[in-house]
Each structure stands twice: as structure tokens, then as C-alpha cells.
Amino acid sequence: MTHAVAGGRPSRAVSQQISAKLVKAGAQLFFSHGYEKTTMDAVAAKAGMSKRTLYTRFPGKADLFEAVVNDVLSRTVRALGEEHTFEGLLQDNLVAFAENLLKSALVPDVIAVERVVTGEAKQFPELAARLHQRFADYIVDLLSELIAHFEPKQTRPQAAVRRDAELFLAMVVLPPIRRAVLFQSKPGLHEEDRLAIRRAAEIFAKGVSA
């Protein structure tokens, strides 16, 4: 069995494995030492690969860091999308959505990403904004779809529904993530979070139906 194609280049599968190994090494170093203190030389050494191999796939440290963040957050939103349903009442769906999101977000890798991105936001504001916005938009889209599904007439502008989705997320998702990023709570969904979610969903559902 050969792992290379003509010219000695690695096959697509092997190339993907190499990239994944580099991303994993980058994640370990970024999460341990932060963005600024992590060097490309250290990443190559951690992965057991040459600097040429690293730079061929990731021309700069920002490119590698973005790949690391994409890898972590893509797994998070993929799981959220797979669990997305429209059964029952709006209030029940809001609770399920928020709990599923926090179960996926309040894990060590995602918290580590948030810490690094937040810590480097001043030095790399465009990178931080782009990474946050990309995944925030996806989550808001999912929640907007859920809210719109439970509005009988569905006559409100899409922008208004999105604004409601953003408000709900700000109520129930941002506080526990912020506490975790600031080392004020341990990873995982706690009972206080569940209580806050249920109360916020109750208030929100009544407001939307009013």
C-alpha cells in the first residue's frame, strides 16, 4: 500500500492526517502558552514535523490559530445542529436549545479557545471578531429558525426574530461562558445555569407570544 501519489506527494488522506496533527499540536501549545508565546518552530517540533511541512499548510501563525479555532468550534456547532428539533412548545425548545449549546460550549477546549481569543483581542481585533462572528451567526441562525417556527402567523421581519434570538442568547449563554473563561466556575452545565435557562425561556416565550 502506498501513501503517496505521483511525484512523491502525500495522498489526500495522508495530507489531511498531517494537517490534523499540526492543528492538534497547535491547539495544545496555544491553549497552554497563549497565542503570542506560541511559535511556529515549537508547533513543528511538537508535531514531529519539519517547518517546511507546517508552513506549506499554514503560511502564518494566524492561519494556524484560525484552523485550531475552526476545528474546536465546528465540532461544537455540528453537535448543536444535529440535536435541533421543533417538537413540543417554544419554551421547552428554548430550554433544550440553550442546554445543548452550553453542554457543548462549557468544555475545556471551547473555554480554552475563548480565553486565548479574548486575551489576544486587543492585539488581533480583526481575527477575534471574525472568529466570533462566524460561529455566532450560525448559532443565531439556528435559534432564529426555531423561534420563527413557533410564531403562528410568522409575519415579523427576519431582523426582529434575529434580534430576539441574540437577546435570548445574551441572557442565558454569555454569563456562564464568561464565568468559565474567568475561572469563576468549572467546565460543565451547572444547576444554577439550568434554573436561569428555564426562567429565561419562560419569560421569553411569554414575551414572544404576547
Q: Which residues contact 33 (CB under 8 A, 6 or more apart)?
A: none
The pLDDT of residue 190: 93
Q: Which three cell numbers stand for residue 70?
A: 475552526
Residues of the chain below pLDDT 50: 1-3, 5-6
Per-residue burial over 7-29, b if 16 or more Cβ lie within 10 Å, else e, is eeeeeeeeeeebbeebbebbbbb
Give bridge partners of residue 10 from the DSSP assignment: 4
Q: Which residues contact 161 (CB under 8 A, 6 or more apart)?
A: 144, 147, 148, 151
The 10s digit of each residue's pLDDT in 99-122 is 999 998 899 988 998 888 888 777
Q: Which three cell numbers stand for residue 162?
A: 434575529
9: DSSP letter: P
